[in-house]
């Protein structure tokens, strides 16, 4: 029989948990893609960004339903919201060039508690990019 400390610290479940935990915090996070409201849980790390993404996502859904000729034939699934991370900065400019000229470019400045955070929203016909506050200072329009 193994000693008690073995089960407390070295059990396969605990080792797997800690390896997963360490892996999650050491690997580079890929770009987040949001296709519907339920995907917005991926943005809980930044409440202001999550609020902006959800608000614009709901407005886009409203526009699709309001102005489409046949709302039943329109699917929101081919419209993507993307939130690049710091590891995506190297490919972000190429991605923006591939998408062409944006329909709309917005700089959102939120002032609270003496701090100003900046979020950029770049709108294309099939994709919306939100540049989060963590990398907005490294990004220019």
pTM: 0.71
According to DSSP, residue 68 is labeled -
Q: What is the pLDDT of residues 21-45, one digit of tens each?
A: 444 443 455 889 998 888 999 999 9
Domain map of the chain by residue range?
Answer: 30-136
Work out the burial of residue 106: count CB atoms within 10 Å of its CB; fewer than 13 is exposed, 13-18 middle, 19 or more buried. Answer: middle
Q: What is the pLDDT of residues 94-135, one digit of tens each?
A: 888 888 899 999 999 999 888 899 999 999 888 899 999 988
Average pLDDT, the chain: 77
Q: What is the pLDDT of residues 63-88, one digit of tens each?
A: 877 777 655 545 555 678 999 988 88
Report how far Cα 115 is from the mean position of its chain's Cα atoms: 22
CA geometry: angle 51, 56, 60, nearest 5 deg? 150
């Amino acid at each position: 029989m193994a000693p008690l400390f073995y089960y407390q610290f070295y059990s396969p479940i605990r080792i797997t948990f800690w390896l997963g935990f360490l892996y999650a915090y050491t690997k580079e996070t890929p770009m987040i893609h949001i296709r519907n409201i339920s995907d917005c849980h991926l943005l809980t790390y930044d409440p202001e960004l999550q609020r902006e993404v959800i608000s614009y996502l709901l407005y886009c859904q409203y526009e699709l339903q309001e102005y489409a000729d046949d709302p039943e034939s329109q699917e929101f699934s081919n419209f993507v919201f993307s939130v690049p991370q710091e590891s995506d900065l190297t490919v972000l400019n190429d991605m923006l060039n591939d998408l062409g000229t944006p329909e709309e470019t917005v700089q959102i400045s939120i002032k609270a508690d003496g701090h100003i955070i900046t979020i950029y929203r770049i709108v294309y016909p099939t994709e919306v990019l939100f540049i989060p506050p963590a990398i907005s200072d490294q990004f220019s329009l």
